[in-house]
Amino acid sequence: MTTLSPEIERLAKLVGAHTGKTAEEVLREAVEAQARIAGVDDPERRRPSAAIDLERVREITRRVTALPLLDTRAPRDIRDEAWSRG
């Protein structure tokens, strides 16, 4: 087993306290996510994904696109305001 640095252990506990998970769960999920990104995850352990109901997706899309546009700013302006650190 690998010995974790105090900083990694502290961060894992901090995230765990915020999410209601144990430090071990936090670290396992982080390593699993990195394994998927790197393409080295174990396909045998993947959770089966639910089938996508395309008709439901289409219906939701129709309802959302029928809603009135309340913010007439350009998408870039909205994004810039949302991500500003002011």
Return d(Cα 33, Cα 47) in angstroms, integer. 13
Predicted local confidence at residue 11, as pLDDT: 94
Return d(Cα 67, Cα 56) in angstroms, integer. 17
Helices (H), ranges, 20-53: 23-38
pTM for this predicted structure: 0.49
- Residue 82 in this model has a pLDDT that exceeds 80: yes
39 pLDDT band, cuts 50/70/90, is: confident
More confident residue, 49 or 68: 68
Predicted local confidence at residue 41, as pLDDT: 81
Mean pLDDT of 48-53: 79
